Amino acid sequence: SAVISQKPSRDICQRGTSLTIQCQVDSQVTMMFWYRQQPGQSLTLIATANQGSEATYESGFVIDKFPISRPNLTFSTLTVSNMSPEDSSIYLCSVALASSYEQYFGPGTRLTVT
Amino acid sequence: KQEVTQIPAALSVPEGENLVLNCSFTDSAIYNLQWFRQDPGKGLTSLLLIQSSQREQTSGRLNASLDKSSGRSTLYIAASQPGDSATYLCAVRLNSGYALNFGKGTSLLVTP
């Protein structure tokens, strides 16, 4: 398994500002992902964070809005840029083990945009 | 696009009952299926992973089955306890990518 931590656990931000969320894993993993869970909705994959190259974004998500960094195999950041109230969600980091592709999730960052 | 549906959306049972949560998916070309538990305000805890070649997995009081051809999975919880109260999420990974496609979950309440 993998133990994942995220910072911050929650934040309240003003419209138009940006927030950077950090994800730290206790072991080296190849595959790291960022998901969003909007209120009352299921989880949606934002992007796959690739170490040493640009992230791979899912349809409907763009790099300018959600820039992602992956400097090494244990750490990644997701920035939510130019926030609006529609960005209020829980943002979750996850990793997949290469042996089984079982995915593990961090505790999430609860973001409220006012 | 893979659609994942979970039924029921909510369930309330008295302690000690056995129960079944259902998950259906539209694309049978799956790589694996995972069941998660989510407690209010918390992240997801992985409960069981079933590879596409497997029919079921068991962990303690939990048993998950997979019928790929019919696009269905069930999570069986035996002898339910109040501590089992949480939202249970089913997620499917297709052969074609790494993304997990999630259902909206079943909110379970086990009353003492």
**pLDDT level of residue A79 (50, 70, 90 thresholds):** very high
pLDDT in tens, B12-46: 999 999 999 999 999 888 999 999 999 987 889 99
Say if A107 is an interface residue toward chain B (CB within 8 Å): yes
B91–A58: do the CB atoms touch at under 8 Å?
no
At A91 the pLDDT is 97
Q: How far is A24 from chain B (nearest CA, A)?
A: 14
B43–A108: do the CB atoms touch at under 8 Å?
yes
Percent of chain B at pLDDT > 70 equals 100
Residues 57-86 of B with CB under 8 A from A: none
Render B41-78 in DSSP notation, one character per residue: TS-EEEEEEEETT-SEEEETTEEEEEETTTTEEEEEE-
Residue in B2, B14, B11, B1 with CA at minimum distance from that of residue B91: B2
In a 3-state reduction of DSSP, which class is residue A69? strand
Q: Which among B31, B41, B89 has the least Cβ separation from residue A101?
A: B31
